Amino acid sequence: MAISATHFNFPNQTGFYKGKVRDVYSIGNDLLVMIASDRISAFDVVLPRAIPFKGQVLNQIAEHMLEATADVVPNWRLASPDPNITIGYKCDPFKVEMVIRGYLTGHAWRTYKSGLRELCGVQLPEGLKEHDHLPQPIITPTTKASEGHDEDISREQIIAQGIVSEADYNQLETYTRKLFARGTELAASQGLILVDTKYEFGKRGDQIVLMDEIHTPDSSRYFYAEGYAERQASGEQQRQLSKEFVREWLIANNFMGKEGQSVPEMTDAWLEEISMRYIELFEQVTGKPFIRQDYNGANERMEKAVLSFLSSRS
C-alpha cells in the first residue's frame, strides 16, 4: 500500500495544489497543510507507481532538518502533526530554486562530461573527475517551472530579468551557503557527505523564509564519508544515499523525461528496493530508527491530525 493522492476538504480551505510529490491545502489566507504523498518523480515526471513510506521519510527528515537549521534562517514550519504532514505559514515563493553543489556529481558532472566548463555562469576548472570535491561550493540556480522542466539560470540572468531583486538574491545566496554549511556539519556527524542540495525560499511580509523540505533524498545527495577518498583514487563509484539510483535506472532503461520516451515497468520488487533505500537514508541522515506507519486508516489518521491542529488555533 502507499499514499498516491489525497482528497480532503478542511474547514476554511481556500485552495488545493497537487505538486509532483506533495498535496498542498491552503487554509484561510495564511496557512498551508502540506501532505507528503508516496509519489516519486524523476526528470520532472511523476512515475506511475508510488513508493511505500517515501512520503513519511521525506516529511520526517524535513521536520528534523528544519528544526536543526531554525537558528540559521527562519522557516515556514509551524507543526508536524502527522508523520506525513507539515503545517506552516503561506509564503510568496521566489521563482528560483537555489541549488548548491560541493562535488561534481549528477547534472553538474553530465554537463562537465559533455565538454562544457561553465554551469549557471560559474566557471569550472579543468581536470576534474566525477564525484570530485569542488574547490568551493558553487550555487547553480534553476528556474522554478510550474510545468515541465526547471532550467539552469545564472545569477546575472536572475537579476537582469527581474526574477529576484539584487538585494534579495544576495540574501538568498548568503542563506544558501549557511544552510549548506550546517547541512554539511549534520551529515558529517552521521558519517555522511552532503554532496549537493537545493533550497526554496519565499517571503512572508518583508521577511525571507525557507520553504518546503530540506536535506531529504528528493532534494539532496549524500555519499558515505568512509572510503570516499579511496574510491575516488581507484576510480570506483561512490556509495550514495539519494534518489540518483532511480534516475540511473531510468537512464539505463532509455527514459529521461523526453517526448516519446516511456517509463519502464516498475515491478513490486523494484518498489520494495526503492522503499528500503529511502528508509536507509532516513536512518543514516537522522540517526533515528524509522517507525513505519500503518497504512490502514491513513486518511482518517491524517485528517484527524489536521483538524486537531486547526481547532487548537481557532
Q: Which pLDDT does position 44 carry in this prediction? A: 85
Residue 148's pLDDT band (cuts 50, 70, 90):
low
Looking at domain 93-241, its CATH architecture is: 2-Layer Sandwich (3.30)
| Average pLDDT, integer, range 283-310 | 96
Would you say residue 146 has pLDDT above 80? no
Which residue intervals of the chain bear CATH 3.30.470.20?
93-241
Query: Average model confidence (pLDDT) for the chain?
Result: 94
Average pLDDT over residues 153-173: 97
What is the C-alpha to C-alpha distance for residues 30 and 13, in angstroms, rounded to an integer? 11
Segment 252-278 mean pLDDT? 94
Give the global pTM: 0.90
Q: What integer is the mean pLDDT of 7-27?
A: 96
The band of 125, judged by pLDDT with boundaries at 50, 70 and 90, is very high
Distances from the Cα of 173 to the Cα of 137, 167, 198, angstroms: 11, 10, 12
112 Cα distance to chain centroid: 23
pLDDT for 147: 57
Q: What share of the chain is helix, strand, coil (3-state, %, to 5)?
A: 30, 25, 40
CATH 3.40.50.1860 fits 13-91+246-313, yes or no: no
Where are the domain boundaries for CATH 3.30.200.20 in the chain? 13-91+246-313
Please give the share of the chain, as a percent, with pLDDT higher than 90. 89
- Residue 224's pLDDT band (cuts 50, 70, 90): very high
pLDDT digits (tens, 9 = 90+) for 179-199: 999 999 999 999 999 999 999
Confidence class of residue 92 from pLDDT cuts 50, 70 and 90?
very high
Band of pLDDT at residue 36, cut at 50, 70 and 90: very high
pLDDT tens digit sequence for 72-87: 999 999 999 999 999 9
| Residue 142 · residue 150 · CB < 8 Å | yes
